[in-house]
Amino acid sequence: MQNEPRAWQNFSPGDLSFSFPQVTCASVPQCVERSAAAFPLWASRSLDERRDILSDCREKLSLAAESLAALISRETGKPLREARLEMVAVVAKFDLTFADGEKYLRDVVVEDGPNPALVRQRPRGPSAVIAPFNFPVHLGHGAALAYLLAGNTVLFKPSPLAANVGLEYARIMQAMLPADVFQLVPGWGETGRALCLNEAVRSVCFTGSVPVGRELSSALAADTSKSLALELGGKNSAIVLADADLDLAATAVADGTCLTSGQRCNATSRVLVHRRVADAFLKRLTTSLARYTPGDPMNENTLLGPLISFAAHERYECLVSTRAGEWIVPGGVLEKINPEMHGYYVLPAVVLAHDPLALDESLLAKAETFAPVLVVEIFDEEDEAIRRHEAWKFGLTASVFTSDAGSFSRIGSHLSVGNLYHNLPTTFSPSTLPFGGWGASGNGRPGGRGFVRFAVQEQAIQWKT
Kindly name the residue from 168, 265, 368, 382 that is annotated as catalytic.
265
Please check whether residues 76 and 99 belong to one and the same domain: yes
Question: Both 225 and 243 in a single domain?
Answer: no
pLDDT, one tens digit per residue, over 123-136 is: 999 999 999 999 99
Q: Is residue 438 part of a domain?
A: no
What is residue 465's predicted lDDT score, i.e. its pLDDT?
87
Q: Is residue 437 part of a domain?
A: no
* Per-residue model confidence as pLDDT tens digits over 221-272: 999 999 999 999 899 999 999 999 999 999 999 999 999 999 999 999 999 9
Confidence of residue 340 (pLDDT cuts 50, 70, 90): confident
Contacts of 288 (CB under 8 A, 6+ apart): 250, 251, 253, 254, 255
Q: Are residues 241 and 210 in the same domain?
A: no
Indicate if 182 and 260 belong to the same structural domain: no
pLDDT band at residue 367 using 50, 70 and 90 as cut-offs: confident
Tens digit of each residue's pLDDT (9 = 90 or more) over 295-308: 999 999 999 999 99
Reply yes or no on whether 66 is catalytic: no
Strand pairing category for 349-352 and 373-379:
parallel
pLDDT band (50, 70, 90) for residue 157: very high
User: Residue 424: which domain range?
Assistant: 236-430
For residue 436, being part of any structural domain is answered with no
Rounded to an integer, the average pLDDT of 269-277 is: 98
Per-residue pLDDT tens digits for 341-354: 999 999 999 999 99
Q: Is 184 helix (H, G, I), strand (E, B) or coil?
A: strand
Q: How many CA atoms lie within 13 A of 39 on its CB side?
A: 22
User: Do 47 and 111 sit in the same domain of this protein?
Assistant: yes
Q: Do 351 and 204 fall within a single domain?
A: no
Amino acid 1: pLDDT? 44
Does residue 4 register a pLDDT over 60? yes
Q: What is the mean pLDDT of residues 59-63?
A: 98
- Give residue 444's pLDDT: 87
Residues 226 and 267 in one domain: no
Within this chain, do residues 386 and 269 fall inside the same structural domain, yes or no? yes
Same domain membership, residue 43 and residue 101? yes
Active site residue 231: yes
Q: Are strands 397-401 and 349-352 parallel, antiparallel or unpaired?
A: unpaired
Domain count within the chain: 2
List, in order, residues 6 or more apart from 266 with CB less than 8 Å away. Answer: 234, 236, 256, 396, 397, 419, 426, 427, 429
CA 320 to chain centre: 24
What pLDDT is recorded for position 447? Answer: 85
Residue 2 is predicted with a pLDDT of: 56
Helices and strands (DSSP H and E) totals, the chain: 15, 23
Q: Is 281's pLDDT higher than 60? A: yes
What digits encode the pLDDT tens for the residues 13-25?
Answer: 999 999 999 999 9
Task: Please check whether residue 75 is in contact with residue 10, taking contact to mean a CB–CB distance below 8 angstroms.
Answer: yes
Q: Output the pLDDT for position 241.
A: 98
Average pLDDT over all residues of the chain: 96
Query: Do residue 222 and residue 357 come from a single domain?
Result: no
137 and 276 housed in the same domain: no
